Every structure is written in structure tokens, then in C-alpha cells.
Structure 1
Amino acid sequence: MFLLLLSGLWIGFSLMGAGVMGMLMFKLNLPPTISVWDKIGGLLANSIWNSTNSWSLTALPLFILMGEILYRTQISTRLLNGLQPWLAGIPGRLLHINVVACSLFAAVSGSSAATTATVGKITLDELSKRGYDRSIAIGSLAGAGTLGFLIPPSLIMIIYGILSDTSIGKLFIAGVIPGLCLASAYAAYIMVRAMIDPSIMPKEEESHTFKEKIAASRELFPVLLLIVVVLGGIYMGITTPTEAAAIGVVGALALAVWFKNLTVENFREAVLSAVKTTSMISFIIVGAAFLSQVVGFVGIARALSLYITGLGLSPYVLIFVIAIMYLFLGMILDGISIVVMTLPIVLPIVVAAGFHPLWFGIFLVFMVELSQITPPVGFSIFVIEGISGEKVGDILKATFPFFVIMILMVIAITAFPDIVFYLPNQMVD
């Protein structure tokens, strides 16, 4: 797979090619009437249909289009202008925008890919124009884009709750403090980097009075109102994420008309770019789904899980080895496949070792988050490559500090499980 990716082949074709090679390399016990190529064709057709035949997936192009409209009609510039006075006194200044924006959009979209693509379209180029370090901007986008798995509604938590018979409501509330801690750790890293190396920010320093900050907030109000409307509809149960995405597109168009920024040309560019980005992400989804099916079909995930459970390790060594296993699986599988394939085998062993299913659910969410920025099947890495034009190697280098921060957060919840249990323990059953 690395050879295919480094050859410059499209990511979707690279994933499919690796899957085909995997099927050909392993000896499969197929009936004489079915050739391996027939099986490959059947798995490919099945993965294409199953990974794209989803009504909830229609939210993806809509949220991307919303981000394109906000970006191309200069509304995103107003958002950054409004935040500038408030962040001017904080080390890192507008470099914190990705952490804040991803946290908000993750709750809106429910998709890591849509969150990364939407926020990236709005912030990356604008931050570069203003003189901020592009590497930090890309790294913070990749790291913060994964927050969607900890912020409800989280598809991974729902799947885990169903498979493990754990309260989904408690899983949602258990992810709040770890999610806030992770976002705060990202912000702290940006602040430390800015204090050590001020060159990552524009040289000119600005000071603003409180009156000027309030005046600048007028630039923020329209976009924040749009986010509140979209978020509010979902949390109040009035709209589904897909319906909220459609409202978001209409709202973005309305703002563009209100500010007299909408033209036929920039609307056309927004639609075409949204189509290209959606196609790119969808093609990666299809390729990853096929590779995941191949990995499951040849029994890699099951064999690895059974091997680890047979080692008879102490509880914390067991968790360490399982974490290594999930990091490895994250290189070749998407998050949902990791959970579905391994949980029936791993969970009983983890519970027998003395770990609570609720805690392990949050631990697993973190490991799935790590898989989003782990090569070669790192969805967020591919999405950022598509919207930024940067090389995968440069993106991985920029993302590495945030990857380490996430590892440290996993260690923190393992050493101090009350980070996970505090809020659920306050709930009344």
C-alpha cells in the first residue's frame, strides 16, 4: 500500500489495489466454481454499495458546499476578522481557530471527514494569507478534526453502545470531559509553540479596547447565528443532520446575498469545488471499505485479536498491547470496521481484566480517532491533502505533535479513569 501511495496513484485506487493484492496473496478456500477474481469483484461491488448507500451520507456534500459558500463569498474572512480582536492577546492568536471551529462543526456534521473538509476550506488559505504558519494550521486541523468522535452525536459511540450493551447516553456524557481536555491540550500546545517561536504568527501585534472587541463581534454574529440554527435544530430534535446541512447551505447563501458577496461566478466555483471534494472523499471511502472487507475476509483482525488475548498479560500491559494492536489496525482499517471486527473478541478479555465497559468505550473512541491521522488509511490526512494541495509527508510531519498529544490523553484516561467516570456518575439512572 505504501508503494502504491508513494507512486502517486490516486488514493482510492491505491486502497483498492492493496485490497486486490491482499486477496491474491492469501490462499482462500473458495468453491471450484468461484474464481478469486469473482470473489474480488463481488467484494468490491458490495463495499461500493454498502459504503455509499446511506441517506446520512448526503450530509457530507451539503456541509462541504456550505463551507465552500462561506469561503468563496468572503464570509469566512468576516468570521476571522471578528475573532481577531478577542484572540489577539492569546499566544497563537488565530491559530486556535481550527480547534474552536472543528469542535463546533463536529457537533453539526457528525462526520470527521465533513468537519475537516468544511473547516479546512474556511481557515487554511485565510490563515496563510494573514501570515500564520501553514504547518501548525494543517496539524491543528488534522488533530481537531477528529474531535467529532467524542462530541455527540457520535456514530462510533452508538455502535459501541449497541455491541457492548452499554448506555449510549452515558457514553455521550463520558466523552465530554476527555473531549474538552483534548481540545485544551491542542490549544496549550499552540500557545507554547507561539511563545517559543513567535515567527509562526504575523509580526505585527494588535491591541484592542473592549469597545472595539464588541464592535468586531458584529462580524461574528451572522456566522454564529447560522451555526446556532444548524446545531439547535439537531439538538432539539427538529432536524436530522442531513436536514440541518441543507438549512446550513440555504443560510450560507442567504448571508452571501445579505452581504452582497454572491455572484454567479463564485457560486459556480463553490458548487464545482464541493463536487470535487465530495467525489474525492467518497472515492476514498469506497476504497477503504473494500480494503476493510478484504482484511476481515482473510481474517487478519480476528487472528491478531486472538493472538493478543492468548498471551495472558497483566491488566495494564494488556491495555498497552491492545492499544498497539489498534494503532496497527488503524493503518489498514477505518474506525467503524475496527470496532465491529475486534469488539466481540477484545471486550470480554478487557472486562475480565477489571476494566469497565464504559471506560473502554472512551478508550476505543480515542484509538479510532488516532486511526483518522494514522497512515496509510488516515481519512483526515487524505482529506487535507485534497483541500490543501500539500504532500502527504508534509501533512504527517505537521500532524505528528497532535498525534502525540492524543497518545498522552489516552495515557491520562488510563492512569486517571475518573476523567471518564466523573460526569456519568452524576447521572441519575
Structure 2
Amino acid sequence: MDPVTLSLVLLAVVICSLGAGLWIFVGLLLTALFAFLVLLGFPVPRIGSILTPVILKSVFSFELAAVPLFIWMGEIISGTNLAAKLFSGLAPWVRRLPGGLLHANVGGAVIFSGMSGSSVAATATIGRVATSELIGRRYDPSLVYGSITVAGTIGIMIPPSITLIIYGIVAEVSVAKLFAAGIFPGLMLGLLYSGYIFVRSLINPALAPAQQDAYSWRQRFAGLLGMAPVLLLIAFLMGSIYGGFATPSESAAVGVFGAIVIARFSGGITLADLYRTGMNAVLTTAMIGSALAAAAVLATAIGFLHLPQMLSEAIVALNLSPMMLLLLLTLIYVMLGTVLDGISMVLMTVPIVLPLLTTAGFDPIWIGVYLVLMVEIGLVTPPIGFNLFVLRSITGVPIGQIALATLPFFALMLLGGLLLSIFPQIALWLPAQI
């Protein structure tokens, strides 16, 4: 069987499994067993002897310890009023710009991302705070919905990013370097979104009516003071990692403590809240850990099939340039984003895509950032785009209207991918300084 057909067969098994409503880890595991039993013809005892060490190695990873802690930190922060403080703290500084408070959407999402590590959390929290406020001030609904939906995706690019941790574990790449690599691309995307809002509002001021609110300098700096706990915690988290004082996992533990302190002085937090947020983190971590184990099993099966080598040889035979290969993979990821969630995309494709791109000369750190950008695109791609459903649940607006509002920003995400491809140092310069 040729490598393209083999890849399509495996992909079809995964998609059919997930489409049947099976959990992610079950779909991946069934695909791996299909490969071992049907394609390779391995006997069951041999499969068992292969899988045991693979599963144990995948889940007993020190880097994986950071995942539940960062998720718990994000859960705690999402229950506070910090998102409202971020929005109100940025509002006085951007209200006179073309686009006005829409820039506070983007800026708030970027900053909040540095606390939550989750695009869904960033979209939901900023969306609850900003949507009714901006619609009430007669801002153009398409710019409001579009900016909130895509700005929330930055949550998986700006560290601490759960998706980057998962990629780092699967690809065996330094999580600290991946965190550093995600900072400038995340800021770049935020600037692209704000730049688009600026230009649209400059051309048609009616899209973002001028606000009559007057702020004194004292009020402006008081707003910044309200943001100080968030900024200090982000600075402490990143500083402890890159200053060499803590690993990402150790930093995550301190982050949970900082989140509890901030929550205590931002409206209070009870033991029941800690239990509820902790259980949410446990459930999410169990889902991720089981999916990681199944993905490791699938990667092992793919290795026995020699699929990465065959695909590499097939790509070389096509004489595709690195950029053409990247364009082809981008189109594939956009299509996958219509039916799969981000974690599934990373776990399914890294075993195949990583050797292809490294063979073509791409840096594994850069590949991680590229994959996260593809996942971001998937988060706003109908019909599965999770951020579309998150905003719909908050606003009650039809999913089609929200999807239409995100189209210009979707194009900006693709532009961000192009810039990242032409100027890879956007992602690679900062990790090189560590």
C-alpha cells in the first residue's frame, strides 16, 4: 500500500471513530489497534508487550505535571472579576483610537491568555464582559463578535499554553523554549487584529462610534493599578521559568498559589470553589492524559508501518519546495479544523507531520508554533470551531452570523501564518536567547 493511501486509511478510521461519538483516546486507540492487527498482522501478545512501556512513558512525564496545574490556575482566574478589570483598565487608553473599545477586547484577551492558557476560557470570560457593553454602545456587531472570537484563540499561543505543552511532550521538545517561541507570534496576531479594526474604523467611523466618556489621568492610572495583580503574576511565572529558578511544572504550582491569592482579594474564593475548579482540572487532565497515551500508541504503530519514512520519500519524489509542502499541510489543517478539535489535531498529526517538516528543514520549535496557529484556525472554522459555539452560548446569536463575522479575521490568521513562514525568526529569536 502506498503511503498516501495508508495515511488516508488511518485518517478515515480516526474520523469515523470520532464521528461515531467515541472519546478522543478511544478513537486513537482503535486506529492504533487497527494498524497493529490488520495492517501489520501482529499477534495480540506482541501488541501487549509493545504497548505497556509506550503508555507508561507517555503518561509518566514530568512536563505533563504542568498541565493540571495550569488548567487549575485558569479555572480559578476565570471565576474572578479580573477580566472586567482588564477591560476597564484598558478602555481609557484606547477609547480615542479608531475602533475604540474593540482594542480592549484584543488587548484583554492577550493579557488574559497569559493567565489561563486556554482559548475557550479567554473567549468565554472576555466575551461575557465585553459583548453586551460594546453592543450597547452601538459598535458594529460583526466587529464585536469577530474580534472576541479570534482574540480568544491567542490563549493557546501565549504561554502558558496547554497545547504547546502537549506538543512538547509528543515531539520531545523543550516546553520552556516553546513557551518563549509563542510570545511574539501571539503578540503579532493581536497587532494584526487591532490593525484591521483600526483601518476599518478609520474608513467607516460608524462601525465604532466615538465615546463621550471622559477619564482623568488619575482614573487611567487607577485602571492600570487594577490590572497589576494579573501582570505581576504573568511576569512572575515567565520570569521564574526563564530566569532558571523553576521548571514550567514548578512555575505552574506557584501560579496556582498566586491565582488563589488574587481570587481571595478579588471578590473572595471558598473551599467549595477550590474543589469545583480542582475537579474541573482533574477531568480535563484525565481527558488529555488518556489521549496522550493513545496518541503515543498510534505513533508507535505508525513507526512500525514506516509511514513517516515512506511519506518523506513520497514528498521528496514530488519535488515540492518547503513552502509548497507547508501550503499543502495548511490546506489539510484547515479541512481537519472543520471536523476535529485542537487537541485531536495535534495528537493525530504530529507523528506524521513532524518528520515531514523536519526533513524539509523546519525547526521543531517553529513547527510547534505553526501547529498551534493551525489549531487556532480550527477553533474558528465552521462547523466544529469551538470558539464559535462558546460565543453563541454567551450571546444567543446564530452560529452562522458569528462565523461570517470571523471571516476577515480568519484571513488575518492565514496572513499571520504566511508572515511566520517568511520570517521564522518571529518564533525562533526568543528561544535562541535562552
Instruction: Give 1:232 shift.
Output: 2.5
Instruction: Give 1:140 shift.
Output: 1.7
On the 8 A contact 2:119/2:155 being kept in 1, the answer is yes
Which residue does the alignment assign to 1:272?
276
Matches within 5 A, 1:262-411: 262-264=268-270, 268-269=272-273, 271-276=275-280, 278-280=282-284, 282-284=286-288, 286-287=290-291, 290=294, 293-294=297-298, 297=301, 299=305, 303-314=310-321, 316-324=323-331, 334-335=345-346, 338-348=349-359, 350-351=360-361, 357=362, 362=366, 365-374=369-378, 381=385, 389=393, 401-411=408-418
Which residue does the alignment assign to 2:11?
none
Give TM-score scaled by structure 1 length.
0.68
Residue 124 (str. 1) matches residue 134 (str. 2): no
On the 8 A contact 1:76/1:122 being kept in 2, the answer is yes
For 1:176-214, what per-residue CA distance to the aligned partner results, in whole angstroms no more than 9, with x for missing partners? 655543331122234445567889879965232333312
Tell me which amino acid in the other structure corresponds to 1:231: M
Instruction: Give 1:253 shift.
Output: 2.9
1:90–1:115 distance in 2 versus 1, CA, 3 Å: farther
Tell me which amino acid in the other structure corresponds to 2:283: S
- Partner SS for 1:214: helix
On the 8 A contact 1:58/1:242 being kept in 2, the answer is yes
User: Which of residues 135, 141, 157 in structure 1 aligns to 2:152?
Assistant: 141
1:200–1:371 distance in 2 versus 1, CA, 3 Å: same
Counterpart CA distance in 1 for 2:426 and 2:105 is 25
Which residue does the alignment assign to 2:247?
240
On the 8 A contact 1:139/1:402 being kept in 2, the answer is yes
1:63–1:173 distance in 2 versus 1, CA, 3 Å: closer
On the 8 A contact 2:181/2:365 being kept in 1, the answer is no
Which residue does the alignment assign to 1:252?
259
Tell me which amino acid in the other structure corresponds to 2:294: F
On the 8 A contact 1:47/1:290 being kept in 2, the answer is no
Counterpart CA distance in 1 for 2:373 and 2:387 is 15
Which residue does the alignment assign to 2:39?
28
- Partner SS for 1:208: coil
- Choose 232-241 or 317-326, whichever is displaced more: 317-326
1:384–1:285 distance in 2 versus 1, CA, 3 Å: farther
1:376–1:208 distance in 2 versus 1, CA, 3 Å: closer
Residue 89 (str. 1) matches residue 99 (str. 2): no
1:311–1:193 distance in 2 versus 1, CA, 3 Å: same
Counterpart CA distance in 1 for 2:388 and 2:61 is 23
Counterpart CA distance in 2 for 1:155 and 1:178 is 16
Counterpart CA distance in 2 for 1:428 and 1:102 is 26
On the 8 A contact 2:181/2:366 being kept in 1, the answer is yes
Counterpart CA distance in 2 for 1:421 and 1:222 is 27
Which residue does the alignment assign to 1:354?
none
Q: In angstroms, what is the RMSD of aligned CA positions? A: 5.1
Tell me which amino acid in the other structure corresponds to 2:85: R
Counterpart CA distance in 1 for 2:159 and 2:261 is 30
1:385–1:210 distance in 2 versus 1, CA, 3 Å: same
On the 8 A contact 2:380/2:388 being kept in 1, the answer is no
On the 8 A contact 1:363/1:410 being kept in 2, the answer is no
Counterpart CA distance in 2 for 1:3 and 1:30 is 22
Count of paired positions? 398
Instruction: Give 1:408 shift.
Output: 1.7
- Partner SS for 1:310: helix
Tell me which amino acid in the other structure corresponds to 2:64: L
Identical amino acids, percent of aligned pairs: 25
Tell me which amino acid in the other structure corresponds to 1:208: Y
Counterpart CA distance in 2 for 1:269 and 1:421 is 37
Which residue does the alignment assign to 1:224?
231
Give TM-score scaled by structure 2 length.
0.68
Tell me which amino acid in the other structure corresponds to 1:223: V
For 1:50-97, what per-residue CA distance to the aligned partner results, in whole angstroms no more than 9, with x for missing partners? 554334333333333333433434243233222221232234445445
Residue 17 (str. 1) matches residue 27 (str. 2): yes
Instruction: Give 1:141 shift.
Output: 0.6
Unpaired runs of 5+ residues, structure 2, are 1-13, 136-143
